[in-house]
Every structure is written in C-alpha cells, then in structure tokens.
Amino acid sequence: MTELEAGRAETLVPARDGAALHRYRDVLIALVAFAVLASLPLLSGSKALLDFVIRCSAYGLFATSLNLLVGYTGLTSFGHGMFFGLGAYSFGLIMQKLGVPIPVAFIATLAITAVIAAVIGAICVRLKEIYFAFVTLAFQMLIHSTILSWASFTGGDQGLRGGIPRPTFLGINLADHVHLYIASCALLILGLLAMRQIAQSPFGYTLRMIRDNAARASFLGIDVWRAKLTVFVLAALFASMGGMVMALFVSGAYPEFAYWTISGEGIFINMLGGVSTFLGPMVGTVLLLLLNDTVTRFTEYHGIVLGVVILFFALGLRKGLLDFTAEWFAHRRDAGEGR
Amino acid sequence: MDLDALAGCLSSSSCLVTQTTSGLIIGMLLFLVAVGLTLIFGVLKIVNFSHGAFYMFGAYFAMTAYQLTGSFALAMLAGAAGTAILGLIFERVFMSRVYGADVLMQLLVCYAFVLIFDDVVRLIWGPEFRSMGMPAAFQVMPLFIAGGVVPPYYLLLIGVALVAAIVLGIGLSRSRIGKVIRAAAHNPGMVSALGINTGLIYGGVFALGGMLAGLAGALAAPVRSLTPGMGFSVLIESFIVTVIGGMGSILGALIGALLLGLIRSYGSLGFPLFTEGLMYLFMVIVLVSKPTGLFGKEAA
C-alpha cells in the first residue's frame, strides 16, 4: 500500500532525480538517528538503557535482514537464525583461537557467512513456500546439532565461554561499555542504510516483482533463482552482523543463538512491527524486547502474555503496528482529499 | 561417532531386534502425530504449528485420568477424546478466522498457542518432569525374539498405530465421509454448493488430527517423561516426516515415520551426539532430490 503511494509521489519528479533525492533523504535520516543514539550516553548514565539499545541493534539487524526475504521477496525463511548463530560463533571462534584484530575477524566472518549462505541458499531457493520454510528450518537445526555435537571446537551445550578478547583497534576499545554501545549503533545504522539502499534499488524492485508474480518476472528475462540466491546471501550477511554484535555484547556465543526459536522470534518481530514498511522490523524489535523485559518482571508465565499479544496482532490488527499506522494515515489522507 | 558400536549391533540378532523394535515404536508414535498434521494440511491447507501441543495435552490428560481412575483404557480415552474436543474448539474459534489469510498469519496464531499451551500446562501440572508409570497390566515378562528383549507394551503400541493407519487409509479412500473429505480438500466451493457444511468438515478433520496426536501422547505417556514443551521436538520430527513423505500423503507419513524412527534408533548407536543432525540431514537429502517429498504430488 505504502509502496504504491510512494510510487505515485515519485511520478511527480523525473525518476532519476527522485531516486537521488530519496537517497540523500535516507542518508540524512541515518545521520540524525546516529547522532541522537550517540548522544544518549551523555544525556543518561543508565547502563540498562545502553544495554537495551545494543540488544536492539543485534536483533534489529537480524529482523530487518529477515524482512528482505519475507516482506520484499516473499521467501518465508524459518531458518534465518542460523546466520545469526553462525555470525556469533564464527566471530567468537576467530577471536578466541586466532587473536586477529577485530576488523579482520569481522570481515572474515562475513566471508564465511557468504560462502555458507551461498551453498545453503543454492539448495533452498528453488523450493517454494512451505517447502522452503522447512528446508531452511532443517538447515538451521543441522547447524544447531553440529554446534552441540562438535563440543571440542564449539564448547557444545556450554557455548563459547571464557569471553571473547576485544583488543583495541584504531583507538576503539570495545571492552569499554560506551565504545561498544557507539560501535553497535554505528553498525545498526550502517546496516539499515545499506539494506534501505538494497530495497530501493532496481534489484529491490525486482525482488518485489518476484514476490508478486515470479512467472512474470521470469518471462521478462529475470533469472529468478539468481535474484533469490543473491538476496538470501545478502540477508545472511546482515543477520551475521547482528550475531556479531550479540557475541560482542555477551562476550560469548551460545547454542540458543542458532536454535530455531531465534528464527521464530525474527518472524514474530516482523509481524509485530510490519513487513511492508522498511522500519517495521525495527519497531517490532523494540516492541518485543520491551514486552519481554516488562512481562518477565511481572510473571513467570510470560508465554501466555506474549501469546495473547500475538493473537491481538494476528487476529485483531491483522498486520504489524507500523503497517497498520501507515495504512491508517494513507487512508485518512485519501479521505481528506475527497477520494 | 561410534561406527564400531553400529557395526557390532548390525551383526548381532538380539541387538537388531531391540533396535528395530525401538525404531518402530518411535516411528509409530511419530506416524500418529504426523498423519494428523498431514491430514490437516491436505484438507484445510493449514500448517498446524501447534500440533505438538495436542500430543502434549494427550499425554497429560492420560496421566491425570490414569491417576484418578487407575484404568489404562480410560486414560487412553481421555487422551484421545480430550484433545479431539480441544482441536474442535481451537479450529472453530481461532483457526477458522485466518483461512485464506497469509501463511505467516496462520503460523503466527499457531505460534501464539504454542506459547500459551506450554504455559497453561505449567500452570496446571507444574514445571517439573512427571511420569505416568507403566500400567500393572503390562508389567509382565518381556518377550524374547531372537535374543532381543521386546516389552509387551511396545507390541500394543505398534498394533494400535497400525490399526489407526489402516482405518484411516481405508476410511478416506472408501467411506462416504472419506470421499466428502477428499472432495472438500480438492474443491471446497463445490462441496459447499452441494449443500455440505464445509465448516463442519474442517472442524471434524482438525478434531481428528488433534485426536490422533493426543492418542500418540497418551500412548507415549507410560514410556516417556512428561514436561511442558515436550510437544515441540515431536512437532519438529513430525514436520520432517510429513515433508519427507510428501505433505498430504498418508502413506508418505507412514513410510517417513518408520524411516525416521529407524534412523533415530540406529543413529543413536553410531552417532550418539549427532542423532538429531542425521534426521535433518536426511530431510535435506530427500528434499534436494525430490522437492515434494517421496509421495508428494503437487508440483513445487
């Protein structure tokens, strides 16, 4: 719905200028958002608040990358969490065993993720709908089982313990809480900006066409398999970034990071925030983490509370919060214009 | 990895009998859960992510009924009938609202109920492990077949699941109700135009699926420990079964369940830590070579 509105607005300006304008606007918004987040430690001394934002960065990167698959391409992955876990474990293992500088480990982890995602994706993306969902789930559980059974390398069900070394690089000391906070925010904003560019690029519109009518896209000469594989690998990279932020934050990696529930939460976050607006998953992330934190404080039966909230969104609103709001505003504007 | 243990077992008849029987009971329980899942998918086109909860409720209902009455038959009845009623209510009140909606919405409603049901069980029966115990009638000498030990209860379990498979198979292909159900799966609009209440059929199929999962839970209660969340691993495994066998195929569910049971039972000897991994590996191999599963028909 909102894409349609945007499309209508864009026809007023010549297309190329419109795209450039949008790009400048996105960069500007990103800079402002980063400035606001970065000034937070100056305004408030609350460590809990900074921790909350770091967790939001990790899950936000993961959930938004999942939406590249679910919302933009129509690929319902049930195993996207494997790349979150893969990022956390690869990064942690490289830092623990090789002791290389953090940026090197970061790049190496992205490279490892890209290779594994390309192999898994090549198998998965030719399957449709429910079969795609289950084969991704199977791969996720395969990786989870491997982590559990390869105890000599991964620490098994104990996880990667002993802390992840965080040597200073370029004057950045990630062992320092505020430095880690700023770095997480920077990764989040950069990741979101990159994903926004992907979503708004011609490739992003190709993905939407594949979602809406794969046969038509194929007739128009698009290699659907290759486009799906590309977005699968790209989404995996950003999920892996989220995993790295998480590994840095908890200074370790645990099998739960690669368990199917991470994927389930990712889907839930997307549904909570909305899948047809770019920032929907971010809104969902903040909502879910807030909900988790407050509910667990009041009752040990948070499954019931969470379940009822999900039911409210699924049966009541029938869409995520940001989607709902965006449509409500669009509807009101249309009514105002007398249409 | 412990390939010596696997090879040692394969060359001993007593070990073969023991492992095969244990593979068969795992497979048969899985079949009962998976066949309900595949039926619900085939007719309602819904992937019931909360199916494992019915297995869990079946086990808890059976345990409670057994503790109250001391009768094994009543325990089985409570497990099956209780979950059938639960399935009917669940379908009519909640699932029927998301028919035709996005697959994600349906999954989300089911996911919500997985969370809710697990907590409800914790509220009612407590968070700790519970056990029903083997009924006195089956606390007899085990059978010895070719040197392998087979408890009589295992035979009952395999028998019940086989009867269910045969009744379902024949019922769906031969009886009038079975034909109506298959027609509703194929073309609900036409069936409804002929004056048949499709809502009733959908509710009935969901109740039947819930009942089969509940029966599996009740049958498993004497041999497994009960805990909130016990439905989840069963759910994942029965998903693997239905996907391997082909969504919607009853024969596929049977073969898939037996294969998976045997993989589990022999895999636990050869790859004790990677048994679960073997199942996922098997699923990936099947899906890569035949994307619709072994007996799936629809083009993927």
- pLDDT, one tens digit per residue, over A125-136 is 888 777 888 888
Residues on chain A touching B123 (C-beta within 8 angstroms)? 301
Residues 6+ apart with CB under 8 A from A120: A82, A136, A139
Q: What CATH number is given for B3-126+142-289 in this structure?
A: 1.10.3470
**Which of B103, B284, B291 has the CB atom closest to A138's CB atom?**
B284
- CA dist B289 → A40, A118, A127, A228, B286 (Å): 53, 18, 11, 20, 5
- pLDDT, one tens digit per residue, over B158-190 is 898 889 888 988 888 888 888 888 888 878 888
**What percent of chain B has a predicted confidence (pLDDT) above 70?**
98
pLDDT at A192 over 90: yes
- pLDDT, one tens digit per residue, over A54-104 is 999 999 999 999 999 988 988 888 889 999 999 999 999 998 888 888 889
Residue A7's pLDDT is what? 45
Closest alpha carbon to A181 in A326, A276, A62, A42: A42
Report the alpha-carbon distance of residue A10 to residue B53 in Å, rounded.
Answer: 49
pLDDT at A269 over 60: yes
Q: Structure pTM? A: 0.83
Chain-chain contact of A130 with B112 (C-beta, under 8 angstroms): no
Residue A80's pLDDT is what? 93
Report the alpha-carbon distance of residue A57 to residue A41 in Å, rounded.
Answer: 16
pLDDT band at B191 (very low <50, low <70, confident <90, very high): confident
Residues on chain A touching B114 (C-beta within 8 angstroms)? 307
Token pair belonging to B235: 């759910």
- pLDDT, one tens digit per residue, over B271-280 is 877 888 888 8
Token pair belonging to B196: 């048949």
pLDDT at A243 over 60: yes
- pLDDT, one tens digit per residue, over A246-267 is 998 988 888 888 888 888 889 8
Mean of pLDDT over chain A:
84
Report the alpha-carbon distance of residue B138 to residue B75 in Å, rounded.
Answer: 14
ipTM of the complex: 0.78
Nearest-neighbour CA in chain A from B145: distance (Å)? 34
**What percent of chain A has a predicted confidence (pLDDT) above 90?**
25
Query: Which residue on chain B is closest to A316 by alpha carbon?
Result: B97
Residue A337's pLDDT is what? 67
A145, A272, A288, A321: best mutation site toward chain B, by most B Cβ within 10 Å?
Answer: A145
Residue A12's pLDDT is what? 44
- pLDDT, one tens digit per residue, over A271-300 is 888 888 888 899 889 988 888 888 877 777
The residues on B that touch A, with CB distances below 8 Å, are 47, 94, 97-98, 101, 103-105, 107-109, 111-116, 118-120, 122-123, 236, 239-240, 243, 247, 271, 273-274, 276-277, 280-281, 283-284, 287-288, 291-292, 300
Report the alpha-carbon distance of residue B54 to residue B91 in Å, rounded.
Answer: 13
**Which of A131, A138, A148 has the CB atom closest to B300's CB atom?**
A131
Nearest-neighbour CA in chain A from B238: distance (Å)? 12
Residues on chain B touching A126 (C-beta within 8 angstroms)? 291
Q: What is the Cα B164 distance to its own chain's centre?
A: 12
Closest alpha carbon to A252 in A243, A261, A260: A243
Q: Ranked by mean pLDDT, which of A22-26, A133-137, A174-178, B118-122 comes out on top?
A: B118-122
Q: Ranked by mean pLDDT, which of A80-84, A200-204, A218-222, B296-300 comes out on top?
A: A80-84
Q: First CA to last CA across chain B, in angstroms?
A: 35
Residue B52's pLDDT is what? 92
pLDDT band at A17 (very low <50, low <70, confident <90, very high): low
- pLDDT, one tens digit per residue, over B81-93 is 999 999 999 999 8
DSSP state of A300: S
Residues 6+ apart with CB under 8 A from A119: none
Report the alpha-carbon distance of residue B235 to residue B213 in Å, rounded.
Answer: 10
Residue A61's pLDDT is what? 95
What is the SS3 string spanning chain B?
A: CCHHHHHHHHCCHHHHHHHHHHHHHHHHHHHHHHHHHHHHHHHHCCCCCCHHHHHHHHHHHHHHHHHHHCCHHHHHHHHHHHHHHHHHHHHHHCHHHHCCCCHHHHHHHHHHHHHHHHHHHHHHHCCCCECCCCCHHHCCCCEEECCEEECHHHHHHHHHHHHHHHHHHHHHHHCHHHHHHHHHHHCHHHHHHCCCCHHHHHHHHHHHHHHHHHHHHHHHCCCCCECCCHHHHHHHHHHHHHHHHCCCCHHHHHHHHHHHHHHHHHHHHHCCCCHHHHHHHHHHHHHHHCCCCCCCCCCC
The count of CB pairs under 8 A between chains A and B is 112
pLDDT at A42 over 80: no
Residue B1's pLDDT is what? 66
Residue A65's pLDDT is what? 95
Fill in the amino acid letter for A164.
Answer: I
Residue A10's pLDDT is what? 44
- pLDDT, one tens digit per residue, over B107-144 is 888 888 988 999 999 999 888 888 887 777 777 777 77
Closest alpha carbon to B47 in B92, B104, B89: B104
- pLDDT, one tens digit per residue, over B204-234 is 999 999 999 999 999 998 888 888 888 888 8
Residues 6+ apart with CB under 8 A from A204: A72, A198
